[in-house]
Amino acid sequence: MRKFRIIGILVAFAMVMSFIGLPKESFAAPVTKQIEVNKTTNYLYLYENGKVIKKYRVATGKTKELTPEGTFPLVVKIKNPSWKNVPPGPDNPLGPRWNGISVNGDNGRSYGIHGTNNPKSIGTYASNGCIRMLSNQVTELYDLIYEGVPVWIHTGTSNGIWRGDMSVGLKPSTGSVKTVKDTYAWTGPSTGSFKITAVAKNKALTRTGVSGNYTQVKLANGRLGFIYNGDLSTGLTFKSASGYAEVTVDKANVRQSPSLSSNVIEKAKKGSRYTLLADNGEWYQVKTANGKIAYLSHLVAKKWVVTVTASVANIRATASMKAPVVAKANRGTTITKLGMVGEFHKIRLADGTIAYIHKTVAK
Task: Round to whole Å and give the CA distance between 211 and 105.
Answer: 12
The reply to whether 114 belongs to the active site is yes
Query: Cβ(226)–Cβ(187) under 8 Å?
Result: yes
The reply to whether 154 belongs to the active site is no
Task: Round to whole Å and give the CA distance between 361 and 205.
Answer: 48
Task: Round to whole Å and give the CA distance between 305 and 308.
Answer: 10
Neighbouring-strand partners of residue 268: 252
Alpha-helical segments (H) within the chain: 9-19, 135-144
Query: Cβ(74)–Cβ(108) under 8 Å?
Result: yes
Query: Cβ(307)–Cβ(333) under 8 Å?
Result: yes
Q: Which of 311, 354, 321, 318 is nearest to 335 (CA)?
A: 354
Query: Cβ(109)–Cβ(13) under 8 Å?
Result: yes
Torsion of CA 140, 141, 142, 145, to 10 degrees: 130
Give the 3-state secondary structure of residue 311: coil
Task: Round to whole Å and give the CA distance between 176 and 146.
Answer: 22
What residue type is assigned to position 246 of the chain?
E
Catalytic hit among 114, 154, 345, 358: 114
Alpha-helical segments (H) within 65-150: 135-144
Torsion of CA 35, 40, 42, 44, to 10 degrees: -10
Q: Which of 288, 167, 183 is nearest to 234 (CA)?
A: 183
Just list the catalytic residues.
114, 130
